[in-house]
Every structure is written in C-alpha cells, then in structure tokens.
Amino acid sequence: MSKGFKKICGYIILVVIGFLGYTLFRKIKAVVELSKTLPQYLKNILGEKPKFDFNMNLHRIIMTFHLSPDVLKKNPDLKETILDYINDFYPVLSSKRIEIELVEKDVEQQKEQTSEEKKEEKSEEN
C-alpha cells in the first residue's frame, strides 16, 4: 500500500510541476509578444513610439514607458488604455499584477529615438 501511495504522490508532484512550468511559459511568451506589439500600437495611437522596458517577476510585471512630456499631457488616461489593450489581447497576463510607469523622456533620449526611427524607415524602404 505504501509503494502505491508513493507512486501516486510522485505523479501528482510531477503533474503540478508540469502545470506550473506550462503557465510560466505562457506568461513569458505573452510578455515577449506584448513587447513587440504594444509599442507599435501606442505609436499608432499617440504618433510616437515609446521606449519600452519591462521587468517580470513571478508575481508581477513592471512596465516602464518613456514618452515625451507633450504626449503625457495630451493623454492622461494612457495607463487605462494600455491595461485595456493587455486585457483584450493578452488575457493570460493578469492586469491586477501589472504595474505601469509612465516616465518623461529627456531631450537626449528624444534625439536618440528620432535618429533610430530614421534608420528604421530607411531599412524598411530597402
């Protein structure tokens, strides 16, 4: 009886570990896809492509967007827009565990981004 119980406990442990690994994989995959699509979505809405950084822990995701001060003033409900986008297209990510930080760009960062955008446009034309 104890050998059968040990086998059942072993299988249960393997199933739980597999399930946790699968859910973690789904979250990581969703964050990677989000990091590709969300900046383009914001560029279409705001007219400016933000610099996007994210930090993912097991229990929360911290997203930092670097935007110009003009864009931040024109769109006071930008956090809600981002959360709505995440809830609509990436339901795997719980919006309760997502922290969004909107940071103003420095003048130097704005210059770097415009030069990067020009390079991207040239590469898209070729």
For residue 76, the 8-state DSSP code is T
CATH number at residue 103: 3.30.300.30
Q: What are the structure tokens assigned to 37, written together?
A: 């699509």
Beta bridge partners of 61: 56, 98
Which residue do the tokens 């959360």 mark?
A: 83
Residue 50: HSE in the Cβ half-sphere, 13 Å Cα cutoff: 29
- Cα Rg of the chain (Å, integer): 21
**Tally of domains in the chain:** 1
Domain extent at residue 34 = 2-125
pLDDT per residue as tens digits for the range 62-96: 999 988 888 889 988 999 999 999 999 998 887 78
pLDDT per residue as tens digits for the range 9-61: 999 999 999 999 998 899 889 989 998 999 899 999 988 888 888 888 878 88
